[in-house]
Every structure is written in structure tokens, then in C-alpha cells.
Amino acid sequence: MSLLSADRIDVRHGGQIALQGVSLSVEPGEILTIVGPNGSGKSTLLRALIGAVAPSRGTVRRANGLRIGYVPQKLHIDPTLPLTVRRFLDLPRRVTTPEAEEALANAGVSGVIGQQMASLSGGQFQRVLLARALLGNPQVLMLDEATQGLDQPGSAAFYRQIEEVRGRLGCAVLMVSHELHVVMSASDRVICLNHHICCEGTPEVVSAAPAYRELFGTGTGGALALYRHEHDHGHDHDHDHSHSHSHEAAE
């Protein structure tokens, strides 16, 4: 049974149609990526799936008691709110310090537990958001443009971390991105969204699809190849392993 599904949902934003007739389902353990241009309704789709916006038509189903680990696109912490990393990881449920430390290690950001959230660098901040999402043992991890503000090597490293986490926890991952070339290689399945679903399938199928090329042009094909080249040589055996694992699943 799928963890999370949408059945032909429409979402409107002040009269404008953000999503139309979108159906998808997330299966246990898979990495599903939604790509699309800015303003194509990607974030709205994620927000509809967590119940933050109500569809005007169609239904969203979540498995009973589904545990969602959510990493928002941007988290603004008001300067009037003092918040240490340790305390942030306690939201919404208290965790023990060993649990908090383990989650930080899993997210690749050890040693910041006593710092203020406001003092973290962009990369550390995103990883702390990921660590919080990992606590409570999520069945599905949802990431909304989680690498915004990171440079390309930074986001590539972040997505490798996601693959690793999936390998370790066995959770499904649903992520949204416009950085196609970085995300594609880490995905089992890709949905190309522009208010409606243009095409979907394995990364290879989608990147070859006419609808995808129409939206993003042919230039990304080159970037994809370039990235894969770097990716193949750029990291140690451990990462390579989880990477090839996701490829098997994709093929």
C-alpha cells in the first residue's frame, strides 16, 4: 500500500489554478523527485500532501498515522526567538541528547548541538533541518528545494546524504527541485510538473521525454552528463555503493 497519494487534485491560489488533475503516490522506500520550473506548483503540491492547503477537487490520502519528516524550502527564525540546535531538534517532540546527536551525525553535521540556529552557515542549517526531520523515524522524508542557497558541490553533497539516509533508514523520499541534473541521478522516479504532470518515469525516461525537453531545453542534457562524470569520480566507496544501489532501483 502506498504511504501517501493524491488522486486528481486541483489546488487554486486566489482564483489562479496552481495544480490541476495531479495524481501521484509514494511507495515505501523509493526516492521520488518532482521537477519543474519556478512557479509550476511544486511547493504547493508538497503542501497539499502534508495537509497545509486543501485541494478544491480530488483527494489526498495519507496512510494511517503516517510519520512525515518535512524539510521546508526556507525556515525563517524570527530574531526575537532564541533557539539552540538542541532545542530545535526537540520540536515538536522531545528527544534524548543521544538521539539528537545521532540524527545530527546522520545528517552529516556533528558538533553544532550547542549553537544558536541563527549562527549556523547555510549548509549547516539545511543539514540541521534534515536532522530534525529524521528524528521520530519518518516513513517518508519530504524535502522542498532543500538545497536552496547552497552552491553546486554543496547541494550535490546534500543529495548524496539523502541517498545515504534512505539506505540507512529505509524511508521513502519525496523531494522537489529545480536543480534537475543534481537531483536526477539520485532518484528512482521523476515527475515533471508544470501545474499538471507533464511526464513521469525513471530519470532516463523523463530526461528523454519531449515534454521535459520543451520545459527545460536541451542544455540540461549536457549538464546532466557533466554532473555524472564528476559524481563517478568525486566520492569514496561508501557513497558509490548507495549511488549504484539507487541506479539498480531506477532501471
Partner 1 sequence: MLDDFLIRAALAGLGTALAAGLLGCFVVWRRMAYFGDATAHAAILGVAVSLGFQVSVLTGVALVALGMALAIHWLTGRNHAMDATLGVLAHGALALGLVAVALIPGARINLDAYLFGDVLTVTRADLAVIWGGATVVCAVLWLHWSALLTATLNPDLAYAAGIDPRREQLILTLLLAAVVAVSIKVVGALLITALLIIPAAAARPFARTPEGMAAMATGIGAFAALAGLRLSLWLDTPVGPSIVCVAAGVFALATIGGQLRTIGR
Contact footprint for partner 1 (CB under 8 A): 47, 50-52, 68-70, 72, 75-78, 80-84, 87, 90-94, 116, 142
Which CB atom, from 171 or from 192, has the smaller least distance to partner 1?
Answer: 171
Grid cell locating 215: 520545459
Which CB atom, from 46 or from 250, has the smaller least distance to partner 1?
Answer: 46
Q: Which amino acid is at 66?
A: L
- The least CB distance from residue 87 to partner 1, in Å, is 5
Q: In this structure, what is the dihedral angle of CA atoms 145, 155, 107, 95, given to the nearest 10 degrees?
A: -30
Q: Which residues of 138-170 are buried (b: 16+ CB within 10 A; e: fewer)?
A: bbbbbbbbbbeebeeeebbbbbbbbbbbbeebe
- List 199's β-bridge partners, or say none: 192
Which CB atom, from 72 or from 234, has the smaller least distance to partner 1?
Answer: 72
Of 41, 38, 51, nearest in space to 17 by CA: 41
The Cα–Cα gap between 247 and 134 comes to 23
- The least CB distance from residue 74 to partner 1, in Å, is 9
Assess contact for 174 and 32: CB atoms under 8 A.
Answer: yes
- The least CB distance from residue 249 to partner 1, in Å, is 25
Grid cell locating 132: 530534525
Q: Which residues contact 170 (CB under 8 A, 6 or more apart)?
A: 28, 29
Of 142, 125, 131, 146, nearest in space to 90 by CA: 131
Which CB atom, from 67 or from 241, has the smaller least distance to partner 1?
Answer: 67
- The least CB distance from residue 92 to partner 1, in Å, is 4
- The least CB distance from residue 233 to partner 1, in Å, is 37
Which CB atom, from 109 or from 117, has the smaller least distance to partner 1?
Answer: 117
Which CB atom, from 70 or from 227, has the smaller least distance to partner 1?
Answer: 70
- The least CB distance from residue 51 to partner 1, in Å, is 5
